[in-house]
Structure 1
Amino acid sequence: MKVAVTGAGGRTGSIVMKLLASDASGAFAPPRGLVRSTKSGDKVRNLCDGGDANLCDVVEGDISSADALRTLCDGVDALVILTSAVPKPKIGSMIAALVSKILPWAENKRPDFYFPEGGSPREVDYEWQVAQIDAAKRAGVKKVVLVSSMGVTQIDNFLNTMGGGGDVGDANILLWKRKAEMALVASGLDYSIVHPGGLLNKEGGKRELLVGVNDELLAGDRRSVPRADVARCVVACLTSPSAKNLSFDLASREEGEGGGATTDVDALLEAASGMTYDYSLPMNSPVPLP
């Protein structure tokens, strides 16, 4: 299977690229990754092949470029979408928030965020994710794995207010992600949609993984998961029969808790296959949903 990965230079995307490049089962051809810069491309190549140019393929470009997406998807069997808008903190508000925590009489303040020009959730998490889905369909790609986020059923989730005070088009990052998910479901392509909790830069394969639907896991006290474990699930979704047209939430226990580390990700996906995500949620969204 030839797999293309967008967001390949990111922290999670680079792990996915490495797992695909180092897979010893023979299931995967050398992966192809889309990166935004030569520097990111060099990092991915070094991570995947350590100088062996036969173990990965890098396309330099942007997800807003139809030409880059056409090149990326040409001749591949599956596409992994790992792109996301990234809010940037306003420096002044960071200082004010820090001061409010130091001074005992001051009212606690949260920092303000913004999205850089051309990097809004409407563009990155919806319009350009749909462009990726469309490019994959035109190229004859059979499988798409989309990494979204937990919280997509919650209009009042904090992440929806970051960057624009809740104004449609400026913020609502989770709702724009939800709209892209719906576009993938409607595309007719075989899909897997992974909703991880808060991403941890921890070693994978050390924790018990938890699956759920409709943000039910957010009601508990385990709402995060290592990036490396998300990457493991993404790779498993590419070949597991249980991952066909599957949409699920993913979190983890603390290391040493529960029944021990999840080593069989295929079995985890099989357990999730009986779950049904409700795409009528959320109701009354300020972002127009299908």
Structure 2
Amino acid sequence: MIKVLVTGATGRTGSLVVKKLQTQTNNFQVIGFGRSPQKITEIFGSTEGFFVGDILNKDDLKKAMEGCQILIILTSATPKMKGIPEEGKRPEFEFPENGMPEIVDWQGQKNQIDVAKAVGVQHIILVGSMGGTNPNHPLNSLGNGNILLWKRKAEQYLIDSGIDYTIIRAGGLLDKPDGRRELLVGKDDYFLTSPPDNVPTSIPRGDVANTVINAIASPHARNKAFDLISKPEHFPHSQITKDWDQLFSKTTSGL
């Protein structure tokens, strides 16, 4: 049985990954990692099978990660809107204290990678975002956080770590049913600069979760970094993605 630690387990995508892994009890022993026992209980009903800790604390990470073969990183800084914007003005955003992207998406992920290497984790699956090749991407301006730049730095650190990796840079996340679409993989934000005809650069959260889980067993997902979007449901000539090895084979290693 494969022991898996999922950090960011109380996030909207992270919780889906945990719940899907929990249904495959013959294949995986899954441990969720989160900061708030209240939030864990709210989402999962109890804290059983979870480790309450902080990604900025290496001791917490080491205790949670002992004996794990796989680490799935779904932690991310989250901007909050500053009050209600005045009419005709754009909303302003900020990050909570100790929640800036430099802290969460760089230092927090670096801590996870360092501890994983120290305890012998064999494979790290990191979920990020498209847009990291563009320093002027609008997401970087939110709260002056440069979130995509810090994410990209952590991705490069993972690649250089020597641990087997899979880096999934998802498009815009949708709260739509999963398992009903054809998924597309790309590289270097190609979908953002040259999008396929009438295909939006988005994907259901559940399809991201499915991609994460199938990357665990597929040798074709190892040491790969790729962008990920989906065709809309019932898109002409599309075929629902079921052959995961084939999907992972379409992309290449490195940033």
CA contact (8 A) 2:218 2:244 kept: no
In structure 2, relative to structure 1, the CA distance for the partners of 1:3 and 1:276 (3 Å cut) is closer
Q: Does 1:263 find its partner at 2:247?
A: no
Aligned match for 2:230, one of 252, 268, 280 = 252
Q: Distance in 2 between matches of 1:161 and 1:41?
A: 31
Task: Tell me how far apart the structure 2 counterparts of residues 11 and 271 of structure 1 sit (CA, whole Å).
Answer: 27
Find out whether 1:185 has 2:175 as its counterpart: no
Candidates 123, 140, 161, aligned match of 1:160: 140
In the alignment, the residues of structure 2 paired with residue 232 and residue 264 of structure 1 have an alpha-carbon distance, to the nearest angstrom, of: 12
Supply the distance in 2 between the matched residues of 1:65 and 1:160 (Cα, whole angstroms).
Answer: 26
From 66, 70, 77, the equivalent of 2:58 is 66
TM-score (normalizing by structure 1): 0.82
2:52 maps to a residue whose letter is E
For 1:136, what is the secondary structure of its paired residue?
helix
User: What is residue 40 of structure 1 aligned with on the other side?
Assistant: 39
1:233 and 2:211 equivalent? Answer: yes
Q: State the Cα distance separating 1:39 from its structure 2 match.
A: 1.9
Structure 1 pair 136/44, CA: closer, same or farther in 2 (3 Å)?
farther
Q: Secondary structure at the match of 1:144?
A: strand
Equivalent residue letter for 1:193: I
1:76 lines up with 2:64 in the alignment = no
Moved over 6 A (4+): none
1:103 maps to what in 2?
A: none
Matches within 5 A, 1:81-92: 81-91=73-83
Give unmatched runs, 5+ long, in structure 2. Answer: none
CA distance in structure 1 between the partners assigned to 2:205 and 2:125 by the alignment: 15
Matched, 1:57 2:17: no
Residues 1:119 and 2:99 are matched in the alignment: yes
User: Which residue pairs with 1:106 in the alignment?
Assistant: none
Tell me which residue corresponds to 1:27: 27
How far off is 1:44 after superposition? 5.0
What residue number does 2:85 align with?
Answer: 95
2:203–2:229 CA contact under 8 A, matched in 1: yes
Cα distance in 1 for partners of 2:19, 2:243 equals 19
Conservation of the 8 A alpha-carbon contact between 2:223 and 2:253:
no
> Taking structure 1 as reference, are residues 116 and 230 closer, same or farther at Cα in structure 2, changes over 3 Å only?
same
Q: Secondary structure at the match of 2:85?
A: helix
Say whether the 8 Å CA contact 1:4–1:72 is kept in structure 2: yes
- Secondary structure of the 2:105 match is helix
Aligned pairs for 1:128-147 within 5 A = 128-147=108-127
Which residue number in structure 2 is paired with residue 216 of structure 1?
Answer: 190
Distance 1:177 1:247 in 2: 13
Say how many residue pairs are matched.
249
Q: Deviations over 1:37-89 (max 9, x none)?
A: 1122224544xxxx8x9xx6200111112221011111100100000000111
Structure with max Cα Rg = 1
What is the one-letter code of the residue matched to 1:260?
Answer: Q
1:196 maps to what in 2?
A: 170
**What is the alpha-carbon root mean square deviation over aligned residues?**
1.6
Q: Tell me the TM-score normalized by structure 2.
A: 0.93
- Distance (Å, rounded) in 2 between the aligned partners of 1:196 and 1:178: 13
Q: Percent of counterpart pairs with the same letter? A: 45
